[in-house]
Chains A and B, each alone.
Chain A
């Protein structure tokens, strides 16, 4: 994952060292084969990634104008009008704050558990590793919508198998529902993150530990001083995907709307996009989408830079 970091800067700093900095023409061998390999992906990527991004930006720059109250609506260029509306939109920023609070708690808990399980699976302390690995991974096979429906029943004050708890604590109340959703997301994704971290652990050659063991280091010490630093790239990767997932929360809260009136149509940024576009006010919804995508990108990118700098020290 170091590749996306600073490609331009890398190229610049590498230039003085390389003996032939002059731009020279690379002779391309097998251009036809390269085209066969690249074109299908490139066309689809352009059509369904780049064009939509461009189109969303374009739509977000338009405003709808009407001649009088009942006049015909026409879309005209409005500059940053929609973005001003986004920045003045209280519910949108509340929803952003909500998912950030969610992420600050849920992502560390989930990744902490995933790391703990991965380290235990990699340690000589356990029996039945195959079983644990599968059992913890199974929830990942449950789609977010289905997991949310299931947990909706489990939280229910009268249908839950744990009514002793759920009739006393209202998990679906305005105070707790965000954390009830956090539990659903954690339940689904811990095993998946555990596996990513665990496969990074498996890739470490065991000879590396032997010296440490000879020096008398225990499992805890080996985990902390050797394993965790070595698998940092995998942890960063899971961190980035979790941050992206958090800001994009949609399916789980959308399902919880049927279980709890505390989940409003503006509960998360993506719900906001959805409800705004079905008003319909697609231009404002497009502006929400663009701001959200930018926020996601900036956050995951700075997380990447931040962790890389820490590693560098």
Chain B
């Protein structure tokens, strides 16, 4: 924090636009720059060293895992390790990754569509019960998903749907936060005049939404998609409580199951580590690809 106090020494403003030309462009004191950079670099280590360690561990054979420097390469066995992992137990790990991709990809896509439509209708149409509906949905934002896992299990067991794909997939199609975010975003970014113009051109309401409004709401929709994707990919309690059949597991539950057997089956340790490494790659890629969108959309919910 001392880094910031130092900067109060920098008295005059930086890049001031005044009628008289600013006599001197003041810079922040070098001390505060150094302080700020030090803080950030130290925490970069905190955030990245664990992942670096996981990567290094993934490149090592199990004998070298304990005998060589944990933070630097030994013989490069990454691809051999991946090959072994994929071959283990008829490729159950690949199955888990595909399951996760399906639960999260299809689930987040549909959840975004439904939330976007509802948010748009709440923002752009007047109908009785609109505010009530919005307030119920907002209450839903405050109800944590984990609190619903057990009652969902009880209901799904009434209709004999536990231990199925649908038991995990269907509940993840609901995103109250998505409705909240898209409503706010649609109010601000889709002008009524534009909808009116589309009406005059003879386009139907639903068509207008898909051809015109969706484009304007795109940053918010990408944000909702991303949040929902992460939420489903990371979901643990619901699959834990719903699924018994290993072939339906998402990757988090699968690796959890292996990790809890490490004491009985020590060879699993290597598979858990390389599996953990592979399981975080899809999300990192998704973040990088969609960076440009979530950077802008992320603030939409909190600024208003």
Q: How far is A233 from B120 in the complex, measured between Cα atoms in Å?
A: 23
- Chain B residue numbers with a CB within 8 Å of A218 are 4-5, 7-11
Contact A44-B117, Cβ < 8 Å, known A120-B36, A135-B44: no
- Chain B residue numbers with a CB within 8 Å of A140 are 230, 287
Q: Which residue of A lies closest to B36 (CB)?
A: A125
Total count of chain B residues near the partner, CB < 8 A: 112
| B151 adjacent to A34 (CB under 8 Å) | no
Give 1 or 0 for each of A141-155: 1 = CB within 8 Å of chain B CB.
Answer: 111111001111110
- Chain B residue numbers with a CB within 8 Å of A245 are 144
| B114 adjacent to A53 (CB under 8 Å) | no
Contact A258-B259, Cβ < 8 Å, known A38-B118, A45-B174: yes
Contact A199-B298, Cβ < 8 Å, known A38-B121, A220-B4, A293-B144: yes
Q: Is A30's CB within 8 Å of the partner chain B?
A: yes
- Chain B residue numbers with a CB within 8 Å of A282 are 150, 154
Q: How far is A300 from B141 in the complex, measured between Cα atoms in Å?
A: 11
Q: Is B40's CB within 8 Å of the partner chain A?
A: yes
- Chain A residue numbers with a CB within 8 Å of B7 are 123, 125, 218-220
| B148 adjacent to A301 (CB under 8 Å) | no
| A151 adjacent to B50 (CB under 8 Å) | yes
- Chain B residue numbers with a CB within 8 Å of A56 are 150-151, 154
Contact A250-B47, Cβ < 8 Å, known A4-B139, A137-B287, A274-B241: no
Contact A213-B46, Cβ < 8 Å, known A1-B302, A3-B138, A144-B236: no
Total count of chain A residues near the partner, CB < 8 A: 113
Give 1 or 0 for each of A17-61: 1 = CB within 8 Å of chain B CB.
Answer: 000000000101111111011101110110111111101100100
| A292 adjacent to B147 (CB under 8 Å) | yes
Contact A127-B28, Cβ < 8 Å, known A41-B174, A145-B255: no
Residue among A52, A200, A237 with most chain B CB within 10 A: A52
Q: Is B176's CB within 8 Å of the partner chain A?
A: yes
| B155 adjacent to A45 (CB under 8 Å) | no
Q: Is A248's CB within 8 Å of the partner chain B?
A: yes
- Chain A residue numbers with a CB within 8 Å of B36 are 120, 123, 125-126
Q: Is B87's CB within 8 Å of the partner chain A?
A: no
Q: How far is A39 from B155 in the complex, measured between Cα atoms in Å?
A: 21
Q: How far is A154 from B48 in the complex, measured between Cα atoms in Å?
A: 13
Cβ 8 A contact of B237, one of A3, A127, A219, A270: A270
Q: Is A104's CB within 8 Å of the partner chain B?
A: no
Contact A273-B143, Cβ < 8 Å, known A145-B252, A218-B7: no
- Chain A residue numbers with a CB within 8 Å of B50 are 139, 150-151, 154, 187
User: Would you list the 4 A-B pairs with minimal beta carbon distance, nearest first?
Assistant: A213-B13, A218-B8, A199-B299, A33-B205
A selection of 15 A-B contacts at a CB cut-off of 8 Å is A36-B205, A38-B117, A44-B114, A48-B173, A55-B155, A125-B36, A138-B287, A142-B283, A144-B236, A150-B276, A154-B53, A200-B302, A213-B13, A219-B8, A254-B256
Residues in chain B within 8 A of chain A (CB atoms): 1, 3-5, 7-14, 16-18, 28, 32-33, 36-37, 39-40, 43-44, 46-48, 50-51, 53-54, 57, 66, 70-71, 113-115, 117-118, 120-122, 125-128, 131, 133-144, 146-148, 150-155, 170-171, 173-174, 176, 179, 204-206, 209, 230, 233-234, 236-237, 240-241, 252-253, 255-256, 259-260, 262-263, 272-273, 276, 279-280, 283-284, 287-288, 291, 295-296, 298-299, 301-304
Besides A34-B127, A149-B276, A199-B299, 6 more A-B contacts (Cβ < 8 Å) are A143-B234, A144-B236, A146-B255, A257-B260, A289-B151, A296-B142
